[in-house]
């Protein structure tokens, strides 16, 4: 990765841009390694914040990041990107907690945030963003990315 960065540094894009995203948008997406979030949304460096975690779920830390994105750096739109074949779809919360506990001796105090249906979780995430008292009443859009076709689908 350091060697790759040597090459990148000679041709890097986004250098010298202002920190505020040019398109005024913050994306919340799953950390899934198959998703190149900038490219699948047609975004260039400097255009959007991309906040990622397992599932792309709206946690307290996502709300913290969105509040900074909006109040400090001026974004007004939020795009949520969940995806097909996500590891959190149908995952077993108790089995995960057991697994962590067996491996480390500690039971995690936070939920895994598994969900049964990806569309339902997108709708729940949209609701959590819209109802957060710390965010502006921004445009919020929920989507599901298909990791087999590359297509992004709006979730009504
Ligand atoms: Zn995922």
Structural domains of the chain ordered from first start: 18-154 (3.40.1050.10)
Asked whether residue 119 is marked as a ligand-binding residue, the answer is no
Instruction: Tell me, in angstroms, the distance from the centre of ligand 1 to residue 155's CA.
Output: 16
Asked whether residue 86 is marked as a ligand-binding residue, the answer is yes
Asked whether residue 83 is marked as a ligand-binding residue, the answer is yes
- Whole-prediction pTM value? 0.95
* pLDDT for residue 14 is more than 90: no
The residue among 33, 155, 57, 154 whose CA lies nearest residue 115 is: 57
Who wins on pLDDT, 138 or 71? 71
Which CA distances in Å does 25 have to 15, 35, 75, 124? 19, 18, 5, 20
Question: pLDDT band for position 10 (50/70/90)?
Answer: confident
pLDDT more than 70, % of the chain: 100
The stretches of the chain forming alpha helices (DSSP H) are 2-9, 37-40, 60-71, 93-104, 118-131
Instruction: Tell me, in angstroms, the distance from the centre of ligand 1 to residue 120's CA.
Output: 14
Instruction: Tell me, in angstroms, the distance from the centre of ligand 1 to residue 6's CA.
Output: 30
């Amino acid at each position: 990765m350091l060697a790759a960065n040597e090459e990148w540094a000679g041709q890097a894009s986004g250098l010298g841009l202002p920190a505020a995203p040019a398109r005024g948008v913050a994306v919340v997406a799953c950390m899934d390694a198959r998703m190149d979030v900038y490219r699948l949304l047609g975004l260039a460096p400097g255009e959007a914040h991309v906040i990622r975690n397992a599932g792309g779920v709206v946690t307290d830390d996502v709300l913290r990041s969105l509040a900074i994105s909006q109040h400090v750096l001026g974004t007004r739109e939020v795009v949520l990107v969940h995806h097909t074949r996500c590891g959190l779809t149908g995952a077993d919360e108790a089995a995960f907690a057991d697994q962590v506990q067996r491996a480390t001796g500690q039971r995690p105090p936070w939920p895994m945030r598994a969900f049964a249906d990806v569309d339902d979780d997108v709708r729940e995430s949209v609701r959590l963003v819209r109802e957060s008292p710390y965010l502006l009443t921004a445009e919020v859009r929920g989507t599901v990315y298909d990791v087999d076709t590359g297509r992004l689908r709006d979730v009504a």
